[in-house]
A = this chain, B = another copy of it.
Amino acid sequence: MKKLTAVLGSALMFSVSSFASDTDLLNQAKNLFKPLPKVANNPENPVTQVKVKLGKMLYYDTRLSRSNIISCNSCHNLARYGVDNTPTSVGHKWAIGPRNAPTVYNAALHIAQFWDGRAKDVEEQALGPILNPIEMGMPTKERVVKVVKSIPEYVELFKKAFPNDSDPVKFENIGKAIGAFERTLMTPSRFDEFLNGNTNALTKKEKRGLKTFISVGCAGCHNGPAIGGTMFMKFGQVEEYWKETYPYVLKESPAIKVDFGRFGVTKNKADMFVFKVPSLRNIAETYPYFHDGSVWKLEDAVRIMAKTQLGKDLTDQQVEDIVAFLKSLTGKLPEDALKTPVLPPSTDKTPKPEF
């Protein structure tokens, strides 16, 4: 009987301490992270139903590219967690891009867009690839507008989506429509349930991983609702990143060079090798990793980050636990986004594809 009481007592103690430590962890996590909002609002571009409908159509429409075969969805495939799972993307005339295509899911929450932050929000970002000669390859804004204006169904939707605009079908509004759609691309996961107070939403291992993620220092940069995307940081705080990543570059990969990152935007020496800290939402699905897509295994990426950014050699157990936690960030993809819209036909006025 004494023995039983002792056993029960220690079980109770363990349970209490586990409860206490779960609550501690939850409180710590709440200070660092936030659950995802339903929509990432932008007062300058209110998210309306008709704007989202239009934006989704444009997102899937290959006619926004010169060849008429590349859409936003080509490289940011919504069925594959918003990426193309290649090191760097293929664009117009099979041009190979210099950086890995980041996911559009939850991207609207980031401090800025692109790896180097050269666009301030998703509205601005959406327009970049359309005109980039090695992406969708449209020669001019005017041509993009001409395409959209040539399709009556689009003209109608632009009027409805931008009712106070005297010239609704214009280039910036294409970005606003796509941006509004992207603001709905949130992917809540079990981690959000945890942050909302349900400490059983994560397994023991995942909680141990979360603890390690915080204690090792990962959350110093990967924080906020997107678990990243809140700041710019040098890749290679402790040692040059390429020493760690280059051994992983595939022989089939596009020729990857040392990338100066944000320096290319600001021309400020302090921004050399500085990149936006990527979101870790859905990270297990959005391989390969880093701005150069050099590393395919999440375990390797975690190890490299600890080494280059924190100067730490993680144990196998730490890596395993962190990866378990990161997998809990794989969220539910919004069903509406995956319902491909039937796109209206071109007309005689629509510019023909050019290869």
Contacts and interface: CB of A to CB of B under 8 A. Distances in A.
Nearest to A69: B90
A341 B339 CA distance: 9
Contacts of A338: 339-342
B342 A79 contact: yes
Nearest to A93: B94
Contact of A355 (B80, B90, B355): B90
A237 interface: no
Interface in A55-74: 60, 62, 67-69, 74
Contacts of A89: 69
A355 B285 contact: no
B341 A254 contact: no
A192 to B, nearest CB: 18
A96 interface: yes
A333 B339 contact: no
Interface centre among A335, A341, A346 (most CB of B within 10 A): A346
Interface residues of A, number: 42
A150 to B, nearest CB: 13
Nearest to A87: B353
B252 A345 contact: no
A352 interface: yes
A96 B67 CA distance: 11
A123 to B, nearest CB: 24
A69 B84 contact: yes
A258 to B, nearest CB: 21
Nearest to A80: B343
Enumerate the 6 nearest inter-chain pairs by beta-carbon distance, A residue then B residue, closest first: A94-B94, A252-B354, A79-B340, A338-B340, A86-B353, A93-B94
